[in-house]
């Protein structure tokens, strides 16, 4: 029997952080996703233990301010892609500026400087990853997926999908269907 699982990474990470900080008896408060404020001075040994625990879960503490802001940009963009309101197309530049309180020009330049790619390219990659997930884990048609991801048409989705992955979404669907058939035999 095969079961598909949907993860809420925000809740998952928040729960891990909460449990581990309480185990270490560190007083804190969550400010935003991925942002914690320690409410008292934390001894170096506890911070080292906290870093080690985070690494076990693939989580790392970021201290460089530019890298922190770029991670916030990525998190905001991923949230935008995953929680897009169908039929309600919001410009990424407006969305980012509103959420992060900086001009889009500043955010775009910083993102390119740190990641060596553009915000637009990152959004395309996230949308295609989400499309692959929807193709793999749901019974949605390509038309429904294109609409959900705010593409103007299935052709637009197909073009970006092929440019990113090297294959069309239809070919990807066939590969997934073939794998499912082979696994069930």
Give the tens place of pLDDT for each residue, 9-29: 777 888 888 888 899 998 988
Neighbours of 91 (CB within 10 A): 9
Please report the pLDDT score of residue 181 as a whole number.
83
Nearest to 65 by CA among 26, 35, 41: 35
The C-alpha angle with vertex 128 and arms to 126 and 132, in degrees rounded to 5, equals 115
Q: What is the mean pLDDT of the chain?
A: 87
User: Residue written as tokens 């193709």?
Assistant: 135
Please report the pLDDT score of residue 171 as a whole number.
94
What's the average model confidence in pLDDT over 40-44? 87
Please report the pLDDT score of residue 133 as a whole number.
93
Please report the pLDDT score of residue 29 as a whole number.
87
C-alpha dist (Å) from residue 4 to 17, 160, 169: 25, 26, 20
CA dihedral 3, 131, 143, 121 (to 10 degrees): 170
Contact between 103 and 97 under an 8 Å Cβ cutoff? The reply is: yes
Report d(CA 32, CA 69) in Å as an integer: 13
pLDDT band at 163 (very low <50, low <70, confident <90, very high): very high
Please report the pLDDT score of residue 9 as a whole number.
73
pLDDT band at 161 (very low <50, low <70, confident <90, very high): very high
Domains of the chain: 7-61 (no CATH), 124-184 (1.10.10.60)
Q: Indicate yes or no: pTM above 0.75.
A: no
Report d(CA 108, CA 106) in Å as an integer: 5
Check pLDDT > 90 for residue 169. yes
Give the tens place of pLDDT for each residue, 70-80: 999 999 999 88
């Amino acid at each position: 029997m095969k079961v598909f699982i949907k993860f809420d990474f925000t809740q998952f990470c928040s729960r891990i952080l909460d449990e581990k900080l309480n185990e270490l008896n560190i007083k804190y408060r969550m400010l935003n996703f991925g942002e914690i404020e320690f409410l008292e001075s934390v001894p170096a040994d506890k911070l080292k233990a906290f870093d080690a625990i985070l690494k076990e879960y693939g989580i790392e503490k970021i201290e460089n301010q530019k890298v922190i802001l770029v991670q916030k940009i990525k998190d905001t963009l991923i949230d935008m892609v995953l929680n897009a309101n169908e039929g309600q197309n919001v410009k990424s530049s407006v969305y980012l500026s509103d959420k992060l309180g900086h001009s889009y020009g500043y955010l775009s330049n910083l993102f390119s400087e740190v990641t060596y790619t553009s915000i637009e390219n990152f959004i395309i990659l996230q949308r295609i990853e989400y499309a692959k997930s929807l193709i793999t884990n749901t019974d949605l048609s390509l038309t429904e997926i294109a609409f959900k991801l705010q593409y103007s048409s299935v052709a637009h989705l197909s073009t970006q999908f092929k440019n990113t992955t090297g294959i069309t979404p239809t070919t990807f669907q066939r590969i997934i269907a073939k794998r499912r058939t082979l696994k069930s035999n």
